[in-house]
Structures are given as structure tokens and as C-alpha cells.
């Protein structure tokens, strides 16, 4: 099998180049327009985790990160913060037991997800507030105040 990386369009549509071959449950199937490929899954997963979509913005004193995690209990989310990096991860469990042949559409994502970003400013990892309301998780991280000064008086001992 050719190890050529597929283009964005090929990954988005599930198509393959003309010369590509894929091993499916029906054997090797040549990828040509209109051909049924592989096992009927039109989008292949490139890894086991999905990337979570987020919004990141700042206020004068905080970096704020928001993510939609509907269907995930707050206690099932894991947040990891350092001075310059942030990671959110979790797993959305599918509790329905419906046979695959009874679906007309199946577009919701179920499974592991995560997102790691470099923070746009240095933060205090210990000064974090995370809240969840109707599936929207909001994380507020206090920025390091580089202008903060402390005057120290020297004592004689």
C-alpha cells in the first residue's frame, strides 16, 4: 500500500486517488470515482482522538478558553495547565444501543477528544476557575502580572 499522505479534499470526502488501493472487508478495492470502497465507511479516522473546537480570548487579567462538551459530565473532563500550555481531554460515551442498519444519518461524534494549545500569554497555573453550563465549559486562567512590583524593606537583625 502506498504511504502517500492524502489531501485535505480526499480526507474530507473519503475519496482516494486513482492509483490508490485499500484493503477492505471485501478485499483490495481500487479507488476510482463512483466505486464503493472498503467497508462502507466514507470517512476514515486518522487517529483515535478527535480534536475539540475551542474559543480563546483575553481580558486585561485573564485568558479565557471555552469549549462545547455537551454529553460529557464535568467530572469526566481533564484539564492540564502549565505557564504556557493548556490541554483539555475527555470522552463522550454513547449510551444508545441502536442497530447500525436502523440509522439514516450518524454524524455525532462519540469517543475520545482532546485539544492542546500554546497560551498567548504566561499564566498562573494555580489560579484557574473552570465552570460548565449547558455543555459550554469556560476556563478562566489568571495571567502573570509582569508589572506587579513589591517593595521590600530591609530589616536589621
Architecture of domain 50-143: Sandwich (2.60)
How far apart are alpha carbons 157 and 155 in whole angstroms? Answer: 6
- The pLDDT score that the predictor gives to residue 137 is 94
Residues 117 and 54 sit within 8 Å (Cβ to Cβ) = yes
Calculate the CA dihedral of residues 39, 44, 48, 50 and round it to 10 degrees: -140
Pick the closest to residue 66 from 122, 111, 109, 117 (CA basis).
117
State the pLDDT at residue 14: 59
Q: What pLDDT score does 110 carry?
A: 83
Residue 40: its pLDDT value, please? 45
User: In the Cβ-directed half-sphere of 47, how many Cα atoms lie within 13 Å?
Assistant: 6
Angle at CA 60, nearest 5°, toward 57 and 62? 55
Which 3 state secondary structure label does DSSP give 102?
A: helix
**Where in the chain are the domains?**
1-45, 50-143
Look up residue 48 and give its DSSP letter.
S
Q: Give me the pLDDT at residue 105, please.
A: 87
DSSP single-letter state for residue 4: P
pLDDT tens across the length of the chain (157 residues):
455 666 665 665 656 555 544 444 444 444 444 444 444 444 444 557 788 889 999 999 999 999 998 888 888 899 999 989 999 999 888 777 888 888 888 888 888 999 999 999 899 999 999 999 999 999 999 998 777 777 888 888 8
Instruction: Give this prediction's pTM.
Output: 0.61
Amino acid at each position: 500500500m502506498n504511504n502517500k499522505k492524502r489531501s485535505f479534499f480526499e480526507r474530507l470526502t473519503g475519496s482516494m486517488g486513482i492509483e490508490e488501493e485499500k484493503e477492505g472487508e471485501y478485499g483490495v478495492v481500487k479507488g476510482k470515482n463512483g466505486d464503493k470502497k472498503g467497508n462502507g465507511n466514507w470517512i476514515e479516522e486518522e487517529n483515535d482522538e478527535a480534536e475539540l473546537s475551542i474559543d480563546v480570548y483575553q481580558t486585561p487579567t485573564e485568558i479565557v478558553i471555552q469549549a462545547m462538551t455537551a454529553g460529557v459530565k464535568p467530572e469526566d473532563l481533564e484539564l492540564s495547565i502549565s505557564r504556557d500550555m493548556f490541554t483539555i481531554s475527555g470522552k463522550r460515551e454513547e449510551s444508545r444501543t441502536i442497530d447500525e442498519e436502523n440509522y439514516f444519518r450518524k454524524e455525532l461524534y462519540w469517543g475520545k477528544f482532546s485539544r492542546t494549545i500554546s497560551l498567548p500569554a504566561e499564566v498562573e497555573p494555580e489560579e484557574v476557575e473552570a465552570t460548565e453550563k449547558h455543555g459550554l465549559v469556560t476556563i478562566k486562567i489568571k495571567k502573570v502580572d509582569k508589572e506587579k512590583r513589591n517593595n521590600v524593606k530591609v530589616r536589621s537583625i
